[in-house]
């Protein structure tokens, strides 16, 4: 994987709260969960594009 960069965005309070709970439940950082979700989205849309 390449070097990591910082970016910021806005997120709905309830989604952020759920994400934080998921991070605790899975013992993963928010960043790790977000990267996993982004990878899943990239795969999802690559499949649809074909």
| pLDDT values of the chain reduced to their tens digit, one per residue, 50 residues | 579 899 899 999 999 999 999 999 999 999 999 999 999 999 998 887 76
Question: Residue 39 domain-assigned?
Answer: yes
Question: Residue 6 domain-assigned?
Answer: no
Tell me which residue range forms the domain holding 37: 13-49
Question: Residue 38 domain-assigned?
Answer: yes
**What is the pLDDT, as a whole number, of residue 2?**
79
**What is the pLDDT, as a whole number, of residue 49?**
72
Are 35 and 42 a contacting pair, CB within 8 Å? no
Question: Residue 34 domain-assigned?
Answer: yes
pTM value?
Answer: 0.81
**What is the pLDDT, as a whole number, of residue 8?**
92
**What is the pLDDT, as a whole number, of residue 50?**
64
Question: Residue 23 domain-assigned?
Answer: yes
| Domain count for the chain | 1
């Amino acid at each position: 994987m390449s070097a990591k960069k910082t970016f910021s965005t806005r997120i709905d309070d309830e989604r952020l709260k759920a994400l934080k709970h998921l991070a605790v439940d899975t013992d993963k950082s928010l960043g790790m969960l977000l990267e996993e979700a982004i990878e899943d989205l990239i795969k999802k849309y690559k499949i649809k594009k074909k």
